[in-house]
């Protein structure tokens, strides 16, 4: 796993954007896995600006989002479909974008079809990930199977509390979600994790330097052959080998840098 430590959240977001830009320039018909939440908002703003300025073409790209709240329609303002439209898809053109259907009648069938659609598209070239404060990726909460596939999951109290800020009342936060599984995520050719802020420091340390275990699902990324973690100084603050990561980044050849 490559660990890249940047001075602040803005620089971390800029570095992550550079990886996505390089991926899409090298392979214009890339299949991207996308994430929601506050962390990638800056990245999406940068992508929109590049496209609108004529510096990037995403018109051949296909995307698959990690997750969606169960019970929310796509036009609900707090659905992840609405989030993606606000921050990305209302401003750029892609070939196709996919988000799990929070109102699916037959959830097992819908989840199986989502997996099939990813496979039909050729698999995910680059999967963008955030990192929950409790170590979840997607909505794979602590205790999730590390071989899990897209499925229905129940959110735990920590995640419900963290997401309550997006809703008018805490009781409005959905308790169930549809999410790609850890096993699904691990099949992406490149996993790109963006984590910022002191509240993510323990999860970052566990993900990178802790044991591989279901109690911290993000630790499964230690298995991945091509995983890049980009963090700011606060999120990196509890890593024991910070200087090693800095040295490796500062001394890698120019062709390995995204921009």
Name the catalytic one among 101, 136, 224, 232.
136
232 catalytic, yes or no?
Answer: no
Name the catalytic one among 15, 65, 67, 68.
67
Name the catalytic one among 15, 65, 87, 134.
134
State the burial class of residue 195 (Cβ atoms within 10 Å of its Cβ: 0-12, 13-18, 19+).
buried
In the sheet that holds 31-34, the strands lie side by side as 2-6, 227-232, 190-195, 126-129, 31-34, 62-65, 96-98
Per the document, the length of the chain is 259
11 catalytic, yes or no?
Answer: no
Name the catalytic one among 101, 115, 141, 187.
141
251 catalytic, yes or no?
Answer: no
> Could you tell me which residues come within 8 angstroms of residue 137 by beta carbon, excluding any fewer than 6 positions away?
66, 129, 130, 131, 182, 185, 193, 217, 218, 220, 221
> Could you tell me which residues come within 8 angstroms of residue 44 by beta carbon, excluding any fewer than 6 positions away?
87, 88
134 catalytic, yes or no?
Answer: yes
The strand pairing partners of 152, in sequence order, are: 178
How far is the C-alpha of 67 from the C-alpha of 79, rounded, in Å? 10
How far is the C-alpha of 123 from the C-alpha of 116, rounded, in Å? 10
Active-site residue set = 67, 134, 136, 141
């Amino acid at each position: 796993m490559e660990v890249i430590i940047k001075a602040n959240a803005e620089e971390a977001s800029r570095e992550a954007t550079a990886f996505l830009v390089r991926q899409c320039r090298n392979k214009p018909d890339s299949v991207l896995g996308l994430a929601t939440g506050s962390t990638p908002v800056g990245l999406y703003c940068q992508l929109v600006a590049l496209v609108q300025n004529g510096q990037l073409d995403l018109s051949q790209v296909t995307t698959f989002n990690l997750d969606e709240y169960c019970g929310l329609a796509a036009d609900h303002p707090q659905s992840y479909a609405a989030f993606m439209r606000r921050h990305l898809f209302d401003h750029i053109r892609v070939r196709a974008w996919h988000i799990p259907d929070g109102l699916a009648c037959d959830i097992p069938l819908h989840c199986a079809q989502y997996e099939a659609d990813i496979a039909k598209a050729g698999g995910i070239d680059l999967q963008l990930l955030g990192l929950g404060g409790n170590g979840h990726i997607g909505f794979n909460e602590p205790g999730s199977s590390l071989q899990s596939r897209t499925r229905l999951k129940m959110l735990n109290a920590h995640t419900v509390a963290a997401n309550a800020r997006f809703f008018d009342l805490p009781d409005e936060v959905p308790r169930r979600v549809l999410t790609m599984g850890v096993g699904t995520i691990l099949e992406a050719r490149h996993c790109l994790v963006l984590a910022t802020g002191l509240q993510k420091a323990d999860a970052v340390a566990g993900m990178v330097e802790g044991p591989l275990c279901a109690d911290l699902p993000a630790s499964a990324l230690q298995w991945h052959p091509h995983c890049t973690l980009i963090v700011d100084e606060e999120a990196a603050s509890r890593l024991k080998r910070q200087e090693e990561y800095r040295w490796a980044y500062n001394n890698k050849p120019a062709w390995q840098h995204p921009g």
